Structure 1
């Protein structure tokens, strides 16, 4: 039964019977037969066809959550009984908010894979709150997000620093002066990340320290991604604050960075795990590798 649960989790994560069969070096019908055997054992339907692929039934979602718990518990057991012969292969599922997921992690994961070429990754990107919920639900091994989540079920460890800078289209009226201030910004149309993002949380917390909130600003658009914010600003919809990591290679493409007097907006990126729960050995190795890669410490 344990092997069936492990196979089922692989099928769900890969979203493909064929990919799983190829990786396990078995036939695709063999994978299908194993899934049918699992359904028969449980007496419920787990998967149903959807377009060219498949989706999970409600029972399938429940089984996947419990299968991950069981597999994680098994990994904990192996670690606790002192298995020193760790095999550094398999898949690491990482969650990330938009900035670390799109601009930072790919390069670090490529470097990590040079050390362990048999390891593969799945990277799930969303807003910080959404990704934190996936950590709690055991849908990812660990995550990198732009906000602190120290709760009963989660713990955060500081990774590196981020700075949010003001950007506007090159023909925006704000660009006529070398700097601006918060009062001037209140009257201008503003583009903002969606609720739940660490980006937005950092901005709102900075405003509170100055006795302000978003109701004091002219927010004309909320966007669900950093690229969406950049394109909206570039199109002239309004100004926005963006992570320096998203523009650090000079790829501003018609955007101008503007200094805001007496308003330095910084935040951290954090490695997020389930509290008091150990990671699978390969995920733990990757977590520790990332924790040791702190470029802001090098530059300071």
Structure 2
């Protein structure tokens, strides 16, 4: 019965038998037959046709609400009795934007596996918007991103703080300056991240607060990853603003971190999940483990 509840909840959330069938690797008629079997077991109609789609009957609304509660209760039960490692197996698929995916999560996942050595991970890395779409599409269990996505279907939980700072190459004309005014940077080529990244969004928001935008600067290069930004800065193409997390291990490798007068960029990284959507026991355990860490920048 729990499997039928889970399938029914997925159909309601996706608003598509076809999408659910594709994600589960079964045929669309198989999904329809399972929903019909669920209705027969309950003795009520759960869905009715509405235009090209469908809607919940009053009974369907009640069943959907209780299904979510029962699935969560089942997950909680398994967590409470699942201290044994035999229950904590399987694969956890996590989405991540570039900074948490490349510099933070590997360490935490390694520590998590010390407690649950049978767990396997898949880590997909891209910009924040792309990862939000993967969470919505059920392509990852949850994600860690640099932007907030609080919608009808997504919820964001603060994880940790990040700081962006000015970075130049060690032989840049500004590398020996003690402090720099933001307007001074207009005279030099700049490297930025791609649209859709939390990094880009935080930077543009900070510029807006200073009464500026990207059109006020000489943008020489737009790239899709943090490592590409670092290599471009190191090669002398221009300056950029980068996460302190991404620089802690390489500030001596041809890069110089500098302060800009009255221009501070702080943002957060967030645990992103589907709202009211149960995930596997081991994925939930991993999510909770990360949520409890909440490290501070520089720690």
TM value normalised by structure 2: 0.74
Task: Compute the displacement of 1:164 (Å).
Answer: 0.6
Q: Is the 8 A contact 1:75 1:281 kept in 2?
A: no
Task: Compute the displacement of 1:62 (Å).
Answer: 7.2
* 2:286 equivalent in structure 1: 286
- 2:58 aligned with 1:65, yes or no? no
Residue 238 of structure 2 aligns to a residue whose secondary structure is: coil
* 2:113 equivalent in structure 1: 113
Q: Distance in 2 between matches of 1:206 and 1:172?
A: 24
Q: Is the 8 A contact 2:88 2:282 kept in 1?
A: yes
Q: Distance in 2 between matches of 1:177 and 1:202?
A: 25
Task: Compute the displacement of 1:277 (Å).
Answer: 1.2
* 1:219 equivalent in structure 2: 219
Structure 1 segments unaligned to the other structure (5+ residues): 4-59
Residue 237 of structure 1 aligns to a residue whose secondary structure is: coil
- Superposition CA RMSD, Å: 2.7
Q: Is the 8 A contact 1:79 1:281 kept in 2?
A: no
Q: Distance in 2 between matches of 1:215 and 1:110?
A: 42
* 2:160 equivalent in structure 1: 160
Q: How does 1:67-146 map to 2 (within 5 A)?
A: 67=25, 79-81=72-74, 82-83=77-78, 85-86=81-82, 87-146=87-146
Q: Distance in 1 between matches of 2:249 and 2:205?
A: 27
Q: Is the 8 A contact 2:189 2:219 kept in 1?
A: yes
Q: Distance in 2 between matches of 1:273 and 1:223?
A: 27
Task: Compute the displacement of 1:146 (Å).
Answer: 0.5
Per-residue CA distance 1:240-271 (angstroms, 9 max, x = gap): 00110011134441111111000111110000
Residue 175 of structure 2 aligns to a residue whose secondary structure is: helix
Per-residue CA distance 1:103-138 (angstroms, 9 max, x = gap): 000000000010111111000000000001000000
Task: Compute the displacement of 1:85 (Å).
Answer: 4.4
Tell which deviates more after alignment, 257-266 or 131-140.
257-266
Per-residue CA distance 1:259-294 (angstroms, 9 max, x = gap): 100011111000000112122111111011001112
Structure 1 residues 75, 67: closer, same or farther in 2, change over 3 A?
farther
Residue 208 of structure 1 aligns to a residue whose secondary structure is: helix
TM value normalised by structure 1: 0.74
Size of the aligned set, in residue pairs, is: 240
